[in-house]
Amino acid sequence: MNPLFIVLEGPDASGKSTQLRLLADALSARGIGVLTTREPGGTPLGERLRELILSPDSPMNPLTELLLIIGARHEHVERVVRPALEEGKWVLCSRYTLSSLAYQGWGRGLDLDLIRRLNQLATGGLEPDYVFLLDLPPAVAYERTRERDRFEGEGLEFFTRVRVGYLALIRSVPRAHVIDGTLPEERVLREILGHLPLPGI
Ligand code: TYD
């Protein structure tokens, strides 16, 4: 079967990194070659951009933030995601184009069509095969984030706009599933696995 490109989305502290790891283990145990990665980041340049984007010491305009994220995404898609898929690996990625629509669009108020166009430019149209949104009430997400990077320092109203955005956007994303991020981690994993076409089970 063709390798799958799977994206986990959700607010800060919704358990994306834990699920990425658990999912990678579960797939590897079935003999599937996987690559786990994240945005912003995933390449040496992308990780440096990530530091700038998240640092509370570098305030920036929303459009600057978007353009840096889009630049990091282009590097990531071209240098990491596409090559891995071409090698036959499944790619498991924390955050992708939907994050920009939810955070820079619904959160920061930038134009959604502009973000869609820039996403298209950055990805060359590479869409995920599956998207899982780990949904969390904003108050829970906010409580769970201890360190405050530039996004986590935004406060509850920002988290609320992002969540409303995610839930609105996800309805038009093919093969996207909303999963209750308050469930225990094994339950979340089971739900994700239940939606995937897995060989040999
Ligand atoms: P992430 O590492 O996923 O943070 P966490 O593990 O806390 O969920 O993402 C870092 C931040 O980057 C997160 O607060 C959201 C932000 N972000 C955007 O605003 N737009 C984007 O397109 C992406 C990929 C991330």
Strand (E) positions, the chain? 5-9, 34-38, 90-94, 130-135, 176-180
State the pLDDT at residue 143. 85
- Ligand 1 atom with minimal separation from the 72 CA: 24
Q: Could you tell me the distance, in angstroms and rounded to a whole number, from the CA of residue 12 to the centre of ligand 1?
A: 7
Find out whether the beta carbon of 94 lies less than 6 Å from any atom of ligand 1.
Answer: yes
Sequence-ordered strand ranges (E) for 95-192: 130-135, 176-180
Which residue, by CA, sits nearest to atom 1 of ligand 1?
12
Determine contact, residues 130/175, Cβ cutoff 8 Å.
yes
Token pair for residue 198?
């897995």
- Sheet with 176-180: list strands edge to edge: 34-38, 90-94, 5-9, 130-135, 176-180
**Residue-level pLDDT, tens digit, the chain, 201 residues:** 899 999 999 999 999 999 999 999 999 999 999 999 999 999 999 999 999 999 999 999 999 999 999 999 999 999 999 999 999 999 999 999 999 999 999 999 999 999 999 999 999 999 999 999 999 999 998 888 877 788 888 889 999 999 999 999 999 999 999 999 999 999 999 999 999 999 765
Atom of ligand 1 nearest to the CA of 95: 24
Distance 54 CA to ligand 1 centre (A): 8
Residues 47, 79: Cα–Cα separation, whole Å: 13
Kindly state if the Cβ of 95 falls inside 6 Å of ligand 1.
yes
Ligand 1 site-directed mutation target among 12, 55, 70, most atoms within 8 Å of CB: 12
Contact 86, 33 (CB under 8 A): no
Is ligand 1 within 6 A of the CB of residue 39?
Answer: yes
The number of angstroms, rounded, from the C-alpha of 123 to the middle of its chain's C-alpha atoms is: 14
Q: What is the pTM of this model?
A: 0.97
In the chain the domains, ranked by start, together with CATH numbers, are 5-195 (3.40.50.300)
What is residue 90's three-state secondary structure?
Answer: strand
Q: Confirm or reject: Cβ of 69 under 6 Å from ligand 1.
A: yes
Locate the ligand 1 atom nearest the alpha carbon of residue 100 and give its number.
22
Q: Measured between alpha carbons, how far is 148 from 119 in angstroms, rounded to an integer? A: 27
What atom of ligand 1 comes closest to residue 12's alpha carbon?
Answer: 8
